[in-house]
Amino acid sequence: MDPKQEEEDEVMDQFMDKFRTHKYKGAFNEERWEEEFNKIPMFMKKAPDDDTEKTPELACLQSILTDDPEELARFCKDEGNDYFKEKKYKKAIEAYTEGIKKNCKDQELNAVLYTNRAAAQFHIGNYRSSLNDAIAARKQKPDHLKAIIRGLRISPIEKKLLEIRAKADKLQRAADRDARKTKQAEKKKQTEKNSLLNAIQSRGIRLQEQRSDDDEETPYDNIASSENATGAQVVLDENGRLSWPVLFFYPEHSQTDFISAFHEDSRFCDHLTAMFSEDLPPWDTERKYLAHNLEVYFEDEDSECFYQIDPERTLLETMQHSSRGNSSADFFLIMSQNWTTEI
C-alpha cells in the first residue's frame, strides 16, 4: 500500500476513535429538553429572571428594542457608509433611511444622514430625491456645508443656491486672478534681479560680504534684494547703467550726506562741486570744505587700510579699483586737505 494512503487511514482511525469516546457538548439533554427550550425566547412560556446573563439570546432582543435612538441612527449611518464605499448605493440608501426613521434628537447626525443619502441618490440618478435630501439636511443644520455643496451640484435653478454659487465663482475667479498677478510680479521681480546681478558681476565689482543664514546666498543677492533705511536701492536703468545709493562721511565733523542715486558714470568732483560751492554747510565754520580742497577715501576692511582716490574718477572706476578687496559699495570718507595733514 502507498505510504501516503497508510498515513491518511491512520489519521482517520484516530479521528473515529476520538469521535466515539468524546460526547458532543452543547446538544439538548434528553432529560431536560423542556427546560432548555424554555430558555429560547421564541419558546418561552413565562418571563425569565432579571439576570440577562443567564439568557443572552433574550438580552440581544431587548437591546434591539431598547437601545438609544441616537446610537441606532449612528449604527445605520456607519452601515450606510460601508455600503457607499462599496458603491452599493441602493443598500446605502436603505441604511440611511433606517437611521432617519429613528428620529434621534442629534440634528448634526440627522443632517449627515440626509446628506449621505442625498449623495447616494445622486450616484444612481435620483436627482430630485437628492435635492430634497439636501434641503432636508439644511433644515436640520442650516450651515451644513456638505449639504449646500450637494445642493449646488444638483439644483442649478434654485435662486438662493444659485446666488451662493455665483458668489463662490466670483471669489474663485478673484483668487485665481490675484494668484496670476502675484506670480507675474514675482517673475518680473526675479528677472529684474537677475539683470541687476549680471550687470554688477559683468563690471567686475566686488561687494562686501554680509552675514546671512542662507549659506548659498552671495553678496550680489544681498545688494539686489535689500534696502537701506531710506528705501534706496541699486538701480539698473533702461540704458543698462547702474545708479548706487552712496553715503559721504565727514569724520572731522561727524557729519554725513546721502546721495540716493549716484550714477556710475558721474565723477566724485561733480557731486562735491554741487554740494560745496557757494552755500557751505553750517558746520563748516572755518570754510575748509571747498570742492578743490577735499580728498576722497574708501576703506578696505580686509587690510584695514584707507585708499585715496582721484575725485576726477567716476564711481564705476572707483568701484573697480584693484585695492577694493572687501569694501562697502556705498560708503566713502570725505576729508579736507588741512585736516588730513594735521592727523
Same domain? For 333 and 236 the reply is yes
**Residue pLDDT, tens place only, 66-88:** 567 888 899 899 999 999 899 99
Considering the domain boundaries, does residue 165 fall inside one?
Answer: no
Q: Is beta strand 242-250 parallel, antiparallel or unpaired with respect to 331-336?
A: parallel
Whether residues 237 and 325 share a domain: the answer is yes
Domain membership flag for residue 268: yes
CATH of the domain at 139: 1.25.40.10
Any domain includes 147? yes
Q: Report which residue type is found at 5.
A: Q
Q: What is the C-alpha separation between 67 and 55, in angstroms, rounded?
A: 18
With beta carbons less than 8 A apart as the criterion, state whether 309 and 297 touch. yes
With a threshold of 0.75, does the pTM exceed it?
A: no
In a domain, 28, yes or no: no
Q: 121 lies in a domain?
A: yes
Half-sphere exposure of 239 (CA within 13 A, CB side): 6
Domain total in the chain:
2
Per residue, the 3-state secondary structure of the chain, as one string, reads CCHHHHHHHHHHHHHHHHHHHCCCCCCCCCCCHHHHHCCCHHHCCCCCCCCHHHCHHHHHHHHHHHCCHHHHHHHHHHHHHHHHHCCCHHHHHHHHHHHHHCCCCCHHHHHHHHHHHHHHHHHCCCHHHHHHHHHHHHHHCCCCHHHHHHHHHHCCCCHHHHHHHHHHHHHHHHHHHHHHHHHHHHHHHHHHHHHHHHHHHHCCCCCCCCCCCCCCCCHHHHHHHCCCCCCCCCEECCCCCEEEEEEEEECCCCEEEEEEEEECCCEHHHHHHHHCCCCCCCCCCCCCCCHHHEEEEEEECCCCEEEEECCCCEHHHHHCCCCCCCCCCCEEEEEEHHHHHHC
Q: Which of 123, 155, 187 is the last residue of a domain?
A: 155
- Considering 155, 170, 202, which residue would you say is the last residue of a domain? 155
Domain of 275, CATH number, reads 3.10.20.90
- Out of 108, 133, 155, a domain closes at 155
Domain that holds residue 265: 230-342
- Each of the 343 residues of the chain gets a pLDDT tens digit; together they read 566 666 667 767 766 666 566 555 555 556 666 666 666 655 666 656 555 556 666 666 555 555 678 888 998 999 999 998 999 999 999 999 999 998 888 888 988 898 889 888 888 888 788 888 888 887 887 766 555 565 556 555 455 556 666 777 787 888 889 999 999 999 998 888 888 888 888 888 876 655 555 555 555 555 555 455 666 788 888 898 999 888 899 988 889 889 888 999 999 999 998 888 777 888 888 888 888 889 999 887 777 788 888 999 999 988 887 666 554 557 888 888 766 544 4
Radius of gyration of the chain (CA): 46
- 325/72 Cα distance (integer angstroms): 81
* pLDDT, tens only, 268-289: 999 998 888 777 888 888 888 8
